[in-house]
Amino acid sequence: MVEPPKVDVVGFLDWFYKTYGSNWTLILVFSIPIAIVGWQIFQALRKDKEANLALAAKEDTIQRLAQENRLYRIQTFKEQFKWTDHQIEHWLLANEAPTPAQPPAVKAKKK
């Protein structure tokens, strides 16, 4: 079994204190945790941004597919079932899905 290398933190801090003084040692001691926390915050924000971009792309795809489906149904109702533009407009405004054999009832316009 291989043991991991031992790090002598106290020895390093003692050497750093003797070499650079107390001010730089304090700066070193406090800057390392601040840098670690800052890096973690940066990574979390980056992941959130990527997730938001993925959700936006997914929403765009859903909207595109829904529009394609709507256009396909309109074309099918016009070609196969001989619906008029007025019937299709009424169906779109009602936002309901009637059976293709029975077009939506449209009231006659009064003149």
pLDDT, tens only, 8-46? 888 999 999 999 999 999 999 999 999 999 999 999 999
CA distance 36 to 78: 63
Could you report the per-residue pLDDT of 86-109, keeping only the tens digit for each? 888 888 777 766 565 555 566 655
- The 3-state DSSP class for residue 50 equals helix
For residue 7, give both structure tokens: 């790090």
- Cβ contact 81:100 at 8 Å: yes
Residue 7 has pLDDT above 60, yes or no: yes
Task: Determine contact, residues 65/85, Cβ cutoff 8 Å.
Answer: no
Could you identify the residue written with the tokens 């007025």?
86
**What is the C-alpha separation between 8 and 14, in angstroms, rounded?**
10
